[in-house]
Each structure stands twice: as structure tokens, then as C-alpha cells.
Amino acid sequence: MYDLIGNLWLGMGVAATASNIMLCLIGVLVGTLIGVLPGIGSLATIAMLLPITFGLPPVGALIMLAGIYYGAQYGGSTTSILVNIPGESSSVVTCLDGHEMAKQGRAGPALAIAAIGSFFAGCVATVLVAALGAPLTSVALLFGPAEYFSLMSLGLIFAVVLAKGSVLKALTMILMGLLLSMIGSDLETGAERMTFGIPELSDGIGFVVVGMGVFGFGEILRNLEHTGTLEIVQSRISGLMPTLPDLKAAAGAIGRGTILGSCLGILPGGGAIIASFAAYTFEKRVSKHPERFGRGAIEGVAAPESANNAAAQTSFIPLLTLGIPPNPVMALMVGAMTIHGIVPGPQVMTKQPELFWGMIASMWIGNLMLVVINLPLVGVWVRLLRVPYRHLFPMIVIFCCIGIYSVNNAPFDVTMTAIFAVVGYWLVKHDFEPAPMILGFVLGPLMEENLRRAMLIARGDATVFVTRPISATLLAVAAVMLLLALLPTIRGKREEVFTE
Amino acid sequence: MSDVVPSGGWSRSPDDQRRYDLVSGLVIAVLGLILLAASFLTESPVPLTVRGAVVIFSAVGVAVAAGWLRPQNSQDFYGGMALILLSLTAFVASNELPGMRGIAFGPGTAPRLFAFALAVLSLVVVASGLMARGPHVTPFKVRGIVFILGAILVFAATIRTLGLVIASFACIVVCAAAAEDVRWRETVIWAAILTAFCALLFPYGLNLPFQLWPPFW
């Protein structure tokens, strides 16, 4: 406990310097700005803004990136409430009740409760990250290659189970990601693998290239299919503050949403999207008046918004302690850290405590900023939403192009992104979810390395994965999860959650 | 955004579907034959099983084109076929990489392991696409693909030779043509503004090494 306070104090010292506060503010603002725009997700946002952080010191860069991430998360809910189109996939459920509230002239309280819920969830999650960081890091020291491999398998299985749509197709997506990640030089022997003799491929395909192609450009291609104007709530937004009964009604929902979100965020493969869905469904189930949901119930805004923010933050835990990205956004964070010469994992906390704790403390500061700056800026966001899509997407395209080019100063990377844009669009057209593919792509090299090492240590004995207790447990959990997801009854429930 | 609109549609006339199957089947067959030809170009011989699988793959394409095989769920069937093609390509491409050396993994072990698993699972997807009825693939937006890809490729081709200003401007103008409601006068003005913004932000604001103008100027 004493350690916890001491560590957070150290973090505050780092995060509260003038320059870092500025970076956090810029990150949060820019993140919200882009999050508000419909049709560009947080992954593409971070990828697009990655070059902005190149010239910064590592701590500042990570603080800014984290700010962009939860800013984008928050901006997404603003769009959900005002236009009934989710700015982010994690705020899909917020549309249901949030937009309904806005139509009833209660956009102000809806936005406010989303902000308050997010802030509360952010505070709790920050403490949780700080509290769980140290013990989990010591767990990580017990992990050998076999355990790491099993843990990553578990993460991928989680991603499959929690993804929407067919479990089988999600599994194929993971394998596709793993396979694509094999392209490039072999880490141990240096052999060129599946490069087709193209020298630019010998370093492998960059994560930013795949992520931006599939999510950034791919999403634009999809959005161009259905053109139409957005219907923004026309009624004046008056009275930002929620009333006392509002707060009372939302308090329980915020608490439950926070707990649910925190738990789901830590799980590998989970993340903000599933957390918001789960919180909404749960809230509807425990409510005394479930019929109010979908007609502007304030709990229906409070619960998913708290949950997705909590999950967004706790998903840093596996990344910072075990070095394993639990979702695609965190995978991009790994990319960003690598550019700045930081290897994510347990050693970050022991060797660079100021980086670790500084980032955690900045999350709290960033959440506070979100509450303070966003409510007065609602008018600006509304005006931004009136910009037609034909002006928006050229902007996104050019920023993405420049962003990708500036990672390696390589035109080849830009060309590759075009290919992955088609791949992403094609996958969605055939109802394959690209998110598990990205996760597989990121975890691929790590998984192969640990698999090889584990096999070598065990002298080629593949049973090592089930004879070592921790590894066996992790694999057993993965197997059970997969079986449950394939069982018809659970599958029905799962679909129910996603269709609601 | 992607999560709100389910992809795929149910309505499509039998004629349209027939044409779609014909074209897609032919594409599958041709791609399979190209891969088969490529498998003879590798230095060490590709195993017979892989070549056999490629031949079967092409045969399925022919069968679909000829109408002997009717995919019930186009999304699953063609999606699975594409993934099978990917894994077969991986087998051919990783053919020369050494596999297991005693107890140690070679560089070729993991790619072939993953490719094999992908092929098996994709086969199940294809099978289910032949059996259970499901949604069709909705038409692709060709205009969007052409101009967005065009814009990206224009940028890639010109950034080194002509500098940031010309590359951005060209990219934005090409890209804007992807929208059906494009207005040219507006686009040119908007492109100029965005280009100016990028030319200031990236080299000056963020200190990234960008060449603004063509080097021969």
C-alpha cells in the first residue's frame, strides 16, 4: 500500500511537469477530435497520429498516445449521442439510449453522464493498473517460454470467443494473421521467409501498414458504400448538468459498468467493445424496468460508457506487465514503444519506473482533462459533425499516407497499405472480422519464438505445455472457452448480446 | 462503425448469382493454375501433396464456374477458398525453407504449421458455405476502390520524386473523386488548404524529414 502511493507519487512527479501535461492535453484533444468523426476508429487514429510522437522523448510520446486512445474513446460517445452513428465501435451501444435521450432534448445530461461515468471508471482503473502492476510483474518472472506461449494462445482464443460472428471464421482470421507475420527474415537463422525475392519484405510487413490498411483505408472503402447525410440532433443542447435523480439512477450503473469493464479489459483479447456490450446487457438484466432501455434510460448510457473507459485503461495491464498486447490498439502501442526503443514487458517497471508510473499517472490527469474540456466543447464537436464525408475522407487518406511514409521513409510501405486496404474491405464483404487477424499478426513472432524456445528447452517434447502447471492451466482455460463458444446454447446467448 | 451495418445481403437474382459464380469460379481456377506453374519454378521440388491440393483447388473453381457446384453461402465459400489459396501459396513460398532439424524448429516449421492449420479450418468454412444457405456478397464499390487505391499509389509514386506538396495535392484530388457527390471546384480549394496544412505541420511543426518540392527545382 505504501509502495503504491509512493509509486503513484513518483508518476505524478513525471506526469505533472508542464511539458507532459501539455502533451497529455494535446493527445486528449486530438484524440477526441478524431474520435468524434464517424468512420475512423481508435486504431486508425493512433496509427495516423503516430508520426506526431516521433520527435518526442519516450515518456512524452507514450503519454500522448495514451491520451489519444482514451480521447478517441470518449469522442466516439459524443457522436453516438448526437448523431446515432457510433464514432467508435466501442460506443455502438451508447447510441441506443444516448441518442434517444438527445431526441428528448436531454443531450446535455447524456453527454455529462458519459463524461462523469468515464471519469469515475478512469479513476478506478488507474488505481487498479497501479495496484496490479507490481504483483503481475512478479508473476511474469515465473513465466518461461512455455507459459508465454500458452498465455498468448489463451489471448487469441479470448479474441475469438469475444469477437462477433462465427467462431470458426474468427479462428481462420487468427491463423491468417499468424501466417502473414511469418513473412520476413527468420529471427534465429536469418533466412528469408516467403519474401518472393522482394528486398523490402525482408524486414517483414510493418504492423502500422496492416493496421492502417485494414482499419483506416478499409473502413473508408466501406463507408463510401452508403453515402447519405448525417442526422444531427437539431434541438438546442441546453442544461448540461444532469439532475439529482439522474445522478442517483446512474450511480449504480456507473459502478457496475466500471467493475465489469475493468475485468474484461485485463483479459487478453477483450477490450472496450465487448465491455460496453456486456455492461449494457447486464444493466438491462438487473434493472427493475428493463422496458425503459432503448427509450432514453440514463443507465443505458452510464453503464457502457464507464465500462469501455475502464476496459480501455485496464488493457494496459497485460501490455505493461507481461509485454503481451491484449487487443489491436495495444498492439499498435507495442509498435510505438519499439520505435522509441522500449521493449514492453516486466522489465519496463523495474528498469524505467518513471516511464511506467508516469504513464499511469498521466491517465488520471487525462481523464480529468476530458471532463473539464469536453463539456464546454460540445458545440465545436457538433459543428465538426456537420462537415460532409466527402471532405473528411481525403483528409484521412492524406494523413494516413504521410503517416505511413514517415515511419520508414519508404514509398513501398504506402503501396503495401493499399494492398491491405483491399484485403480489409474484401474480408468485411465476406463477413470475416479483421480484428483477430491483426492480433494474430502482432503476436505471431512472439508466439513462434516462445514455441521454439519451449520446445528446445524440453528437448523436442511437445508435452511440456501440459506438464508445466501454469501453462497447463492456461491452455485448459483456453480449451474450455473455445468449447463453450462452440456449444449451441452459449452461441445463442452470444449472438443475443451482439444483436441487442 | 463497421459493427452497426451487417455485411452481406440476401436479395440477388438467380441470373446475377450465376454470373457471379461463373466469374469467381474462373478467377479461382486461373489463380490455382498460376500457383501450380509457380510451384515448378522453385529450386527444390514442391511435395506432390501440395501440388495435388492446388490441382483440386483449380478443379473446384472450374466446377463452380460450370455450375456443377452451387455455393449456398457465397460469403463463406469464396472467403474460405481465398484463405485456402493463401495457405497453399504459403506452402509453395516456404518450400525451400528447412524444416525440423532434430529437436529444433527450422525457419520453415512455423509457417508450414500455421499454413496447414489455416488450410484445414478454411476447408471447413468452404464446406459449410456449400451446405448451409447464407447471405450473398453485396456488390463491391468499384469507384471507391479505384480512386482510393489510385490516390494511395499516386502518393507512393510521387513522394520521393516530386516532393510532399505535389504528392499530397495529387493524392487528395484523386482521392476526392471516390465520392459520388464530388464537386471539383470545392475539391481543388480543399486540396490546396490541406496541402498547405500538411506542408507546414509535418516538416516544420513536427520536424520530420520531408522534401517539400521536387529536388530538381
Please give the ipTM for the structure prediction: 0.89
Nearest to A398 by CA among B160, B175, B188: B175
How many whole angstroms separate alpha carbon A38 and alpha carbon A69? 15
Least CB–CB distance from B107: residue in A186, A222, A395: A186
pLDDT category, A419, cuts 50, 70, 90? Answer: very high
Among B35, B46, B75, B83, pick the best mutation site for testing chain A contact (most A Cβ within 10 A): B83
Instruction: Supply A12's cell numbers.
Output: 505524478
Of A81-90, A258-267, A378-387, A435-444, the poorest mean pLDDT is in A81-90
Q: Which residues from chain A sit within 8 angstroms of residue B187, using beta carbons?
A: 394
Partner B contacted by A459 (CB < 8 A): yes
pLDDT tens for residues A441-456? 888 888 888 888 888 8
Angle between helices A272-286 and A299-314 (to 10 degrees): 140
CB within 8 Å: B79 and A52: no
> Which tops the pLDDT comparison, A378 or A430?
A430
Quote the pLDDT of residue A238. 59
- Tell me the average pLDDT of chain A: 81
Stronger pLDDT, A435 or A398, i.e. the higher one = A398
C-alpha cell of B142? Answer: 468499384
Average pLDDT over residues A24-53: 80
List all residues of chain A from 222 to 261 with a beta carbon under 8 Å from chain B.
222-227
CA distance A261 to A304: 8
Please tell me the predicted confidence (pLDDT) of residue A89.
Answer: 67
- Phi, psi of B101, deg, nearest 5: -115, 95
Note whether B141 contacts A428, CB cutoff 8 Å.
Answer: no
For residue A280, give the C-alpha cell: 449494457
A206: CB partners within 8 A, 6+ apart: A335, A407, A408, A413, A416
pTM of the complete model: 0.85
Tell me if A390 and B182 make a contact (CB, 8 A cut-off). Answer: yes
CA distance B82 to B31: 10
CB atoms within 10 A of CB B160: 14
Q: Give the integer Cα–Cα distance in Å for A416 and A208.
A: 11
pLDDT, tens digit (0-9, with 9 covering 90-100), for A248-294: 778 888 888 888 888 888 776 666 677 787 788 888 888 777 777 77
If you compute the radius of gyration of chain B from its CA atoms, what whole number of angstroms results? 24
C-alpha cell at B13: 437474382
SS3 state at B9: strand
B3/A86 touch (CB, cutoff 8 Å), yes or no: yes
The grid coordinates of residue B104 equal 529444433
Whether the predicted pLDDT of A372 surpasses 70: yes
Most confident of A107-111, A137-141, A373-377, A415-419: A415-419
The DSSP call for residue B140 is: P
What are residue B136's DSSP bridge partners?
Answer: B9
Q: What is the structure's pLDDT at B3?
A: 37
Q: pLDDT tens, A203-250?
A: 888 888 888 888 788 878 887 877 655 566 655 565 667 777 777 778
- Point out which residues pair with A184 in neighbouring strands: A193
pLDDT at residue A227, rounded to an integer: 60
Q: Which of B2, B5, B39 to mutate to test the interface with A (most CBs of A within 10 A)?
A: B2
Residue A278 to residue A90: CA distance in whole angstroms: 11
Write the DSSP assignment of A146-213 as a string of letters: HHHHHHHHHHHHHHHHHSSS-HHHHHHHHHHHHHHHT-EE-TTT--EES-TT-GGGGG---HHHHHII
Measured between CA atoms, the residue of chain B closest to residue A95 is B4
SS3 A185: strand
Summarize the confidence of residues A339-354 as an average pLDDT: 78
A398 contacts in chain B (CB < 8 Å): 155, 168, 171-172, 175, 194, 198
DSSP string covering B165-185: HHHHHHHHHHHHTTSTT--HH
Q: Answer whether A7's CB lies under 8 Å from A130's CB.
A: yes
Chain A CB contacts of B78 under 8 Å are 430
* Chain B neighbors of A459, CB-CB under 8 A: 103
Measured distance CA(A90)–CA(A70) in Å, rounded:
11
pLDDT of residue A135: 79
Task: Report residue A498's pLDDT band, with 50, 70 and 90 as the boundaries.
Answer: low
Instruction: Please tell me which of the candidates A175, A390, A432 has its beta carbon nearest to residue B79.
Output: A432
Is the CB of B103 less than 8 angstroms away from the CB of A225? no
Tens of each residue's pLDDT in chain B, 217 residues: 333 344 566 566 778 888 888 999 999 999 999 999 888 888 788 888 889 999 999 999 999 888 888 888 888 899 999 999 999 999 888 888 887 777 778 888 888 999 999 999 999 999 988 888 878 888 888 888 999 999 999 999 998 888 889 999 999 999 888 888 778 888 899 999 999 988 888 888 777 778 888 877 6
Q: Give mean pLDDT, residues A485-495.
A: 63
Q: What is the pLDDT of residue A222?
A: 82
